[in-house]
Amino acid sequence: MTTAETDPRRRVPRTDAVLADPRLVAAAERLGRDAVKQQVVAAQARARAGELAPEDVADAAVAALPRTLHSTAAVLNATGVVLHTNLGRAPLSGAAVAAVADAAGYADVEFDLATGRRARRGRGALEALAAAVPDAGGVLAVNNGAAALVLATTALAAGREVVISRGEMVEIGDGFRLPDLIASTGAVLREVGTTNRTTAADYAAALGPATGCILKVHPSNFRVEGFTSAASVAELASLGVPVVVDIGSGLLAPDPLLPEEPDAATALRAGADVVTASGDKLLGGPQAGLLLGRADVVERLRRHPLARALRVDKLTLAALEATLRGPVTPTWAALRADPDQLRARAAALATALAEGGVAAAVVASAGAVGGGGAPGLELPGWAVALPEDYAAALRTGRPAVVGRVERGRCLLDLRCVPADDDPWLLAAVRAAAAGAAPARDEG
């Protein structure tokens, strides 16, 4: 035989033959033919290079297939921060997830099935929002909290002045600052008062023919204490110009757990013309910007050309409605987690880990609201403490587990981990200890 005849590269199966493997046929239906073919071609190249036996090409292609076509990884949030911005803030409830799935195909988002005519976009979500905040004469949803504030100030004050306290000129995260956001609308900021004290008289002195609105912003991600004062919404509403109140975190009504957090109902009763808030914070829903206020003002915002550019999609509308109408959200449950139950769960996990030779201890852990809500409020809870080097292994495992590194330890706070996920958390820690990944089915 010639060298060419004995060359193992000549035995590498053809692409179409490999793609006919039933496992790859099924994968092509789930991932698409191009994604599967890419792995087949890569496996063939390895075989031609002598790194792989020709008969193993199909197996190698199957092993290399991606689990999904997106790069977003599911995470177990063991940080103790309920609304963790880097982890997507509020996790959706089961009802909201189901609603998103139902709306993913064709849906009656702007269509009345009873009459066969065009209908108001997102009417179900808006009706649910109006029912949740009966003090609002009108409601509107846009794509995030900053968009809600931009729409309000653009419609009310573009080319005019927005009067705001110096103590409320905040940075909202990732380098975005309120002055820059408002300036982008074409409005001019008119600062009044001082960093720590601003009175109603300061606002009144700044009002004039050029005033478009007064803006009151809740400094949700920090606190100023000591010699301070701020004008109330009621005082500002008495000055005779539109008042926009950005409460930020999306609390719709007073909550005894969060006594210092402003809410939409209270601001509206005090005379605010428009209240803006986020949907993916304390409300526990999808990313959205909520606008609540006087019917004529909200209608003015709805009819503004910018509203079309900022409108939410059908998936957000479905998730928002299900959040408002549905059961308790994961956010609500995590905020009110029973410390005794958290301690019992942590003890059970630590005992199971110790039995497997993993050094683990149960320690007190102070959780936080996060997401710019209730700064300084500590949520008492408990965590499993591991050696610090577990943090990286857990983050890169599957499922990914993100804990908190503190004083040379990796803390796994259970506040935001559903009790049903404790077995996966246990498996993830054991896998990190063994240098392997647990086979969790996330499909």
- Residue 319 shares a structural domain with residue 172: yes
Rounded to whole angstroms, the Cα distance separating 127 from 121 reads: 11
Q: Of 328, 357, 381, which marks where a domain is finished?
A: 328
Higher pLDDT, 1 or 414: 414
- Residue 305 shares a structural domain with residue 379: no
DSSP state of 352: H
Is 304 contained in some domain?
yes
Q: Identify which of 250, 268, 244, 248 has the alpha carbon closest to the alpha carbon of residue 189.
A: 244
Please give the pLDDT value at position 282: 95
Rounded to whole angstroms, the Cα distance separating 266 from 140 reads: 18
Is 70 contained in some domain?
no
Mean pLDDT of the chain: 90
Q: Looking at residue 406, which CATH number applies to its domain? A: 3.90.1150.110
Q: Identify which of 334, 318, 322, 216 has the alpha carbon closest to the alpha carbon of residue 277.
A: 216
Q: How far apart are the first and last CA of the chain?
A: 50
Whether the predicted pLDDT of 56 surpasses 70 = yes
Whether the predicted pLDDT of 222 surpasses 70 = no
Whether the predicted pLDDT of 370 surpasses 90 = no
- Residue 304 shares a structural domain with residue 360: no
Whether the predicted pLDDT of 2 surpasses 60 = no
Q: Of 299, 328, 357, which marks where a domain is finished?
A: 328
Is 110 contained in some domain?
yes
Whether the predicted pLDDT of 101 surpasses 90 = yes
Whether the predicted pLDDT of 75 surpasses 70 = yes
- Residue 49 shares a structural domain with residue 107: no
Whether the predicted pLDDT of 290 surpasses 90 = yes
Residues whose CB is less than 8 angstroms from the CB of residue 182 and which lie 6 or more positions away in sequence, other chains included: 149, 150, 153, 162, 164, 189, 215
Q: Residue 303 class from Cβ within 10 Å (0-12 exposed, 13-18 middle, 19+ buried)?
A: exposed
Rounded to whole angstroms, the Cα distance separating 94 from 285 reads: 11
Please give the pLDDT value at position 22: 92
Q: Looking at residue 103, which CATH number applies to its domain? A: 3.40.640.10
Whether the predicted pLDDT of 344 surpasses 90 = yes
Phi/psi of residue 136, nearest 5 degrees? -90, 125
Whether the predicted pLDDT of 26 surpasses 90 = yes
Please give the pLDDT value at position 220: 59
Q: Of 276, 307, 328, which marks where a domain is finished?
A: 328
pLDDT band at 431 (very low <50, low <70, confident <90, very high): very high
Which stretch of 141-150, 356-365, 430-439 has the lowest confidence by average pLDDT? 430-439
User: What is this structure's pTM?
Assistant: 0.87
DSSP state of 104: S
The parent domain of residue 412 ranges over: 75-85+333-434
- Residue 304 shares a structural domain with residue 371: no
Q: Identify which of 143, 146, 141, 184 has the alpha carbon closest to the alpha carbon of residue 162.
A: 184
- Residue 79 shares a structural domain with residue 41: no
Q: Which of 192-206, 245-259, 320-334 has the highest mean pLDDT?
A: 320-334
Is 391 contained in some domain?
yes
- Residue 114 shares a structural domain with residue 34: no
Rounded to whole angstroms, the Cα distance separating 408 from 158 reads: 52
Higher pLDDT, 266 or 377: 266
Please give the pLDDT value at position 1: 46
Higher pLDDT, 6 or 382: 382
Q: Which amino acid is residue 340, in one-letter code?
A: D
Q: What is the mean pLDDT of residues 63-73?
A: 82
- Residue 418 shares a structural domain with residue 274: no
Whether the predicted pLDDT of 161 surpasses 80 = yes
Is 417 contained in some domain?
yes
Q: Which residues of 153-170 are buried (b: 16+ CB within 10 A; e: fewer)?
A: bbbbbeebbbbbbebbbb
pLDDT band at 92 (very low <50, low <70, confident <90, very high): very high
Q: Which amino acid is residue 365, in one-letter code?
A: S
Which stretch of 141-145, 173-177, 363-367, 422-426 has the lowest confidence by average pLDDT? 173-177
Is 387 contained in some domain?
yes
- Residue 232 shares a structural domain with residue 257: yes
Please give the pLDDT value at position 442: 47
Q: Identify which of 353, 352, 329 has the alpha carbon closest to the alpha carbon of residue 416.
A: 329
- Residue 206 shares a structural domain with residue 229: yes
Whether the predicted pLDDT of 21 surpasses 80 = yes
Q: How many domains does the chain have?
A: 3
Is 69 contained in some domain?
no
Is 443 contained in some domain?
no
Q: What is the mean pLDDT of residues 226-253?
A: 90
- Residue 313 shares a structural domain with residue 189: yes
Please give the pLDDT value at position 405: 94
Please give the pLDDT value at position 139: 98
Please give the pLDDT value at position 443: 42
Whether the predicted pLDDT of 267 surpasses 60 = yes
Q: Residue 16 class from Cβ within 10 Å (0-12 exposed, 13-18 middle, 19+ buried)?
A: exposed
Please give the pLDDT value at position 179: 80
- Residue 305 shares a structural domain with residue 343: no
pLDDT band at 229 (very low <50, low <70, confident <90, very high): confident
Whether the predicted pLDDT of 129 surpasses 80 = yes
Whether the predicted pLDDT of 137 surpasses 60 = yes
